Structure formats: structure tokens, C-alpha cells
């Protein structure tokens, strides 16, 4: 890696996500964040590497493990944190929580608690772009568990049949909650499934941020050139449990330890230090900056306000007039 600027950004993105997720874990234990919390620790390379291949006006559809995608797509950490706290300054006005982060201005279409729920949505967004002749890509993130759902198959089939600009990004972390890959799929090579729908595919090491970036770039280029779909399988691993309340009875600690040796942040840091792209000071600077960003986000969330109960029934249907704009988060 000779591009210092890019290396800095990649590492910074991964570290910001990692520290934010760790902070979320702490806040959840302190009961500041409630409900379900699904953390991305260990998978940072996928989001950091792939999202930057998208243009600003491309669309992103993600899962309930979407904090990284939301942050790296440009939703301020303050908004994200406030949303997790349930405050009305959150990006979904406190109505969504961890699993339902949305931002229309960033074309970030959530945040979905139904496994594979976002795939048909992504195909539909792409359909509109194709029909309205907008040359935009819709990136759709989902896990290995989603590949078993009917919605995956229906969506891939129609995206290929109708030649729609969807970048399907499968974050295969080897577990669908507590069920290992080989116990959920008769065919564990997920690219084969996508290929069966005549969607071109790529499999990539999800712990290698540069590889993720290259793969995503390749995918995005294909989608833009052909207007048709592309499927990337990112082979990754989550170091923490599926969600906060998961005793991880289904996997060996030894296995987790093995994967931790391939921590994307550590390996990329070491590589950059080794070849001189980044210095220790750079890394410290990134950590300090991330810590400050997180501290500010937590403070923002703490200072946030609870939405008035009187407004409980708003935003079920669209009111006839323009709704008032959402409170601006601090930047």
C-alpha cells in the first residue's frame, strides 16, 4: 500500500467502527442502549473496504448489523448514538433503535430486522433507477443466513432476469446467529448459488481491507458498465457474539481465537507500519480522533431529549402537509 491517504482513511474507518462498537457494548451493559444490539467487531474490513467504492448518490440497504455501514456512509456518529439511546435527535427520531438506522439524505435505506428483508427492497430501488434512467448503484448487504431465505433467491433471480444495477454484498461470517454455515446450507460455497442465477460473482477475504476494496470496486464497475447485478461474498468473521445476550454455546473459543489472529485492524496496521505507509504517530492520531468522536457522540446522545408522548401516533401515515424537518445533529 503506497497510497498514504487511502491507507489512513481505511484504517481510520475501521478503527472508528471498532471503537464505536466497543462503546456500544459498554453502553448496552449500562442499560443506556436497549433492545437488541448486533455488533460488527471483526468485520470492519468489509464495510470500510467496500463502501468507499460507491459514489455519493448510490444507495445502500443493510441489515440489523448496520452501524458500520451507517457511519461510513456518512451518518454522523452523534445521530447514530442518539438513535441507539432512543432520543429524538437520532437519525430515525428515536423510533427505530439499533436495527433501524435510516437516512434519506444519504440514500441509506436501513437497517432491517428481518433477515433477507432488504433484498427485494434493494432490487426495487434499482428497478426505479433503471426505469428512470438514473445511473446509480444499489449496494445490498446481507449475511450468510439470508442466503437461505426465499427472498434471496427471488431477488437474485429478478435482478438478473431484468438486468438491474444491484451490488449484492454477502457478509459471510460463517454463522447465522448460532447455526454454522455447514449446518444451514447444503451448498456452502455461496457464490455457486448466485452464479446459478447467472449473476457474476467474486469471493474475497473479508479480513483484508484492501482486498475488500478491490473486490467492491470491481463489482461497482461491473454494475455501472452493464447496468446488471453483481455478487460478492466477503468471507469474514465476527469476534463477538451474535448479539449482546448470546452465550456463544455454538462455537469454540479456540476458533474465535484463531480468527482473532487475523484481526483486520491489527493486520492492516502492522502491514502499514511495516512498509512505512503509516507511522505510530498516525495510528495514535487515528485512535485519539476516534476516541474524541465517540466521546462527543455519547455526550450528544446523553444530552438528547425524549420525544413527547403526545406525538406517539405521528409518522404512521404521511400527513397532507410537509412534516417539520428533523433536528440537526451536531457535526
Partner 1 sequence: MKTSYRTAVHDALRDALRDDPHVVLMGEDVGRYGGTYAASKGLLEEFGPDRIRDTPLSELGFVGIGIGAALNGLRPIVEVMTVNFSLLALDQLVNTAAALRHMSGGQFSVPLVVRMATGAGRQLAAQHSHSLEPWYAHIPGIKVVAPATVEDAYGMLAPALADPDPVVIFEHVQLYNTSADVEALTPTDISRAAVRRGGTDVTLVAYGGSLWKAMDAANELSLGGIDCEVIDLRVLRPLDDDTILESVRKTHRAVVIDEAWRTGSLAAEVMARVMEGAFYDLDAPVARVCSKEVPMPYAKHLEQAALPQTANIVAAVRNLFGEQQ
Partner 2 sequence: MPSLGADMDEGTLDEWLVKPGDKVTRGQIVAVVETTKAAVEIECWQEGTVSELVVPVGETVQVGTVLATLLEPGERAEKPSRKPPRPSKRAAAKPATAPSRAPSGAVAPPTVPQRRRWVSPAARRLAQSLAVDIDAVSGTGPQGAVTISDVEHAAATIEHVAASKEPATKPITKATAADRAAQMRKSIAAAMGRSKREIPHYYLAQEIILDNALTWLTTRNAQRSIDERVLPAVLLLKAVGVAAQRFGEFNGFWRDDAFQPATGVHVGVGISLRAGGLVAPAIHDVPDKKLDELMDNLSDLVARARSFSLRSSEMSDPTITVTNLGDHGVDAVFGIIYPPQVALVGFGQPAQRVCVIDGGIRVVTAVQATLAADHRASDGHRGALFLSAINELLQQPDLLEK
249's contact among partner 2, partner 1, none, with CB below 5 to 8 A by partner kind, is partner 2
Shortest spacing between CB 174 and partner 2, in angstroms: 20
Burial of 126 (0-12, 13-18, 19+ CB in 10 A): buried
Stretch binding partner 1 (CB under 8 A), from 62-70, 245-253, 291-299, 314-322: 314-322
The C-alpha cell 448503484 sits at 137
Q: Residues 63-77, buried b or exposed e (16+ Cβ, 10 A)? A: bbbbbbbbbbbebbb
171 forms beta bridges with: 143, 234
Rounded Cα distance, 244 and 150, in Å = 27
122's contact among partner 1, partner 2, none, with CB below 5 to 8 A by partner kind, is partner 1
Shortest spacing between CB 278 and partner 2, in angstroms: 24
Q: Is there a contact between 123 and 156 (Cβ–Cβ < 8 Å)? A: no
Interface positions, 105-144, toward partner 1 (CB under 8 A): 109-114, 117, 119-129, 131-132
Q: Is there a contact between 100 and 65 (Cβ–Cβ < 8 Å)? A: no
Q: Cell for 157?
A: 433471480
Contact with partner 1 (CB under 8 A) among 177, 203, 273, 326:
326
325's contact among partner 1, partner 2, none, with CB below 5 to 8 A by partner kind, is none
Rounded Cα distance, 137 and 122, in Å = 10
The full DSSP string for 203-248 is: EEETT-HHHHHHHHHHHHHHHHHHSS-EEEEEE---SS-SSTT---
Q: Interface with partner 1 includes 85 (CB under 8 A)?
A: no
Q: Which is nearer to partner 1, 95 or 224 (CB)?
A: 95
Contact with partner 2 (CB under 8 A) among 104, 132, 249, 281:
249
Contact with partner 1 (CB under 8 A) among 95, 224, 251, 262:
95
Shortest spacing between CB 253 and partner 1, in angstroms: 35
Q: Interface with partner 2 includes 30 (CB under 8 A)?
A: yes
Q: Which residues bind partner 2 (CB under 8 A)?
A: 22, 26, 28-31, 34-36, 243-247, 249
Chain positions contacting partner 1, by CB under 8 A: 59, 88, 90-96, 100, 102-104, 109-114, 117, 119-129, 131-132, 150-151, 154-155, 157-158, 161-162, 314-318, 323, 326
Amino acid at each position: 500500500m503506497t497510497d498514504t491517504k487511502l491507507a489512513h482513511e481505511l484504517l481510520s474507518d475501521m478503527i472508528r467502527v471498532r471503537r464505536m462498537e466497543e462503546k456500544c457494548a459498554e453502553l448496552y451493559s449500562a442499560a443506556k442502549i436497549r433492545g437488541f444490539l448486533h455488533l460488527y467487531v471483526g468485520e470492519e474490513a468489509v464495510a470500510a473496504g467496500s463502501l468507499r467504492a460507491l459514489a455519493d448518490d448510490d444507495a445502500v440497504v443493510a441489515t440489523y448489523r448496520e452501524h458500520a455501514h451507517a457511519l461510513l456512509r456518512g451518518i454522523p456518529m452523534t445521530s447514530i448514538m442518539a438513535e441507539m439511546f432512543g432520543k429524538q435527535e437520532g437519525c430515525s427520531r428515536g423510533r427505530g433503535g439499533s436495527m433501524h438506522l435510516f437516512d434519506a439524505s444519504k440514500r441509506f435505506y436501513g437497517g432491517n430486522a428481518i433477515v433477507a428483508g432488504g433484498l427485494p427492497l434493494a432490487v426495487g430501488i434499482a428497478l426505479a433507477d433503471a426505469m428512470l434512467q438514473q445511473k446509480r448503484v444499489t449496494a445490498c448487504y446481507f449475511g450468510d443466513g439470508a442466503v437461505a431465505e426465499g427472498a434471496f433467491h427471488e431477488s437474485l433471480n429478478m435482478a438478473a432476469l431484468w438486468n438491474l444495477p444491484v451490488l449484492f454484498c454477502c457478509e459471510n461470517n460463517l454463522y447465522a446467529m448460532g447455526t454454522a454455515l455447514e449446518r444451514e446450507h447444503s451448498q456452502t460455497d455461496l457464490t455457486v448459488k448466485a452464479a446459478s442465477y447467472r449473476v457474476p460473482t467474486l469471493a474475497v477475504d473479508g479480513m483484508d481491507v484492501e482486498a475488500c476494496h478491490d473486490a467492491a470496486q470491481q463489482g461497482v464497475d461491473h454494475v455501472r458498465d452493464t447496468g446488471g447485478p453483481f455478487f460478492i461474498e466477503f468471507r469474514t468473521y465476527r469476534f463477538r457474539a451474535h448479539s449482546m445476550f448470546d452465550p456463544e454455546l455454538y462455537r469454540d473459543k479456540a476458533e474465535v481465537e484463531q480468527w482473532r489472529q487475523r484481526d483486520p485492524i491489527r493486520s492492516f496496521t502492522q502491514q502499514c507500519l511495516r512498509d512505512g505507509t503509516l507511522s505510530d504517530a498516525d495510528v495514535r492520531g487515528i485512535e485519539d480522533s476516534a476516541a474524541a468522536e465517540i466521546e462527543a457522540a455519547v455526550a450528544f446522545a446523553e444530552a438528547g431529549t425524549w420525544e413527547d408522548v403526545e406525538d406517539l401516533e405521528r409518522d404512521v401515515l404521511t400527513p397532507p402537509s410537509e412534516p417539520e424537518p428533523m433536528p440537526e445533529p451536531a457535526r
